[in-house]
């Protein structure tokens, strides 16, 4: 697998889980061939953190308010986001507005409030001519409805919708992010999409420290119950990619080149931050 260059299009390197060994985590990823990580923010409190980490490690970042944080967020946070996007608009490492979206899976979140923040952040993405990193959980139709009104493109992260929803995201200019979920044999829908979608629609991600691949559980019993979850990290990406290559009957190098190109198509500022994707 050496020689392949991978891009982790969604990695929360600033998460508390990485506090003890963040630098080592990024070094392991680099050693595994992960040339670049995109670090999305989740709230104004971590805007500066993801920016500093991206600059420290040669990665990139996105600024946004995650739907799970909208319960505590206020319109002042949207003002802070607007100001941060304005302040860093010329920073080549600022590649997207994100992580934004809607989550209709976690109980207790106000759907109207989520929608308010989603619409406002799509408008900011339009204003600053940036793509978005979208959180999609039981919310694909509502997300798509708004995207038809406020056209922006980007990446639908950790995609787990239907084939019809996937096709509509692709039609609207999105790439779909695949990660640890496709390593589970029971994840039939995700694996089917990963196999059948046009290759040009697919980007790779870990969502580290979340969505660990199946091998980060110690036993089959733990996998079945989802307990004792291992910490995911970006160094797992090449092994996750090898599962996708096998599902599609592709060579690993071919998959690395294609998904890296796709990431650059989805996030146009990325290309200038990377070594050349294919030898001259």
Q: Per the annotation, where are the binding residues? A: 10, 12, 99, 135, 157, 207
Indicate the DSSP class of residue 214. G
Q: Which residues pair with 204 in a beta bridge?
A: 178
Backbone φ and ψ of 173, nearest 5°? 95, 15
Q: In angstroms, rounded to a whole number, what is the distance separating the alpha carbons of residues 11 and 17?
A: 12
> Residues annotated as binding site for a divalent metal cation?
10, 12, 99, 135, 157, 207
Residues in CB range of 127: below 8 A, 6 or more apart: 85
Contact 93, 273 (CB under 8 A): yes
What number of residues does the chain have?
280
Q: Strand 94-103 to strand 202-204: parallel, antiparallel, or no bridges (unpaired)?
A: unpaired
For residues 3 and 47, what is the distance between their CA atoms, to the nearest angstrom? Answer: 33
Cβ atoms within 10 A of the Cβ of 239, count? 14
Distance CA 157, CA 42 (A): 14
Q: How far apart are CA 28 and CA 35, in angstroms?
A: 11
What are 35's two structure tokens? 């040339």
- CA 152 to CA 268: how far, in whole Å? 13
Neighbours of 193 (CB within 10 A): 23
Report the C-alpha dihedral over residues 170, 175, 181, 186, rounded to 10 degrees. Answer: 20
71, 74, 116, 152, 232 from 120: Cα distances, Å? 15, 12, 6, 13, 31
């Amino acid at each position: 697998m050496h020689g392949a260059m991978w891009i982790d299009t969604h990695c929360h390197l600033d998460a508390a889980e990485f506090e003890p060994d963040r630098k080592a985590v990024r070094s392991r990823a680099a050693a595994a061939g992960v040339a670049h990580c995109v670090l999305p923010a989740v709230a104004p409190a971590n805007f500066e953190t993801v920016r500093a980490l991206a600059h420290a490690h040669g990665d990139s970042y996105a600024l946004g308010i995650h739907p799970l944080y909208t319960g505590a967020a206020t319109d002042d946070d949207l003002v802070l986001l607007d100001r941060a996007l304005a302040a860093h608009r010329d920073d080549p490492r600022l590649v997207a507005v994100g992580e934004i979206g809607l989550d209709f899976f976690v109980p207790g979140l106000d759907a109207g409030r989520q929608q308010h923040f989603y619409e406002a952040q799509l408008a900011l993405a339009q204003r600053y001519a940036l793509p978005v990193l979208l959180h999609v959980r039981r919310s694909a139709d509502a997300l798509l409805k708004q995207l038809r009104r406020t056209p922006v493109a980007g990446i639908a992260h950790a995609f787990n919708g239907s084939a019809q929803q996937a096709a509509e995201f692709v039609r609207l200019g999105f790439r779909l992010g695949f990660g640890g979920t496709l390593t589970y044999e029971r994840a039939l829908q995700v694996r089917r999409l990963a196999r059948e979608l046009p290759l040009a629609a697919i980007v790779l991600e870990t969502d580290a420290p979340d969505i660990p691949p199946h091998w980060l559980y110690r036993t089959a019993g733990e996998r079945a119950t989802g307990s004792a979850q291992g910490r995911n990290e970006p160094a797992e990406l090449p092994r996750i990619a090898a599962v996708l290559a096998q599902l599609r009957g592709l060579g690993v190098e071919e998959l690395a080149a294609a998904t890296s190109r796709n990431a650059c198509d989805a996030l146009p500022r990325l290309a200038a931050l990377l070594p050349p994707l294919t030898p001259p």
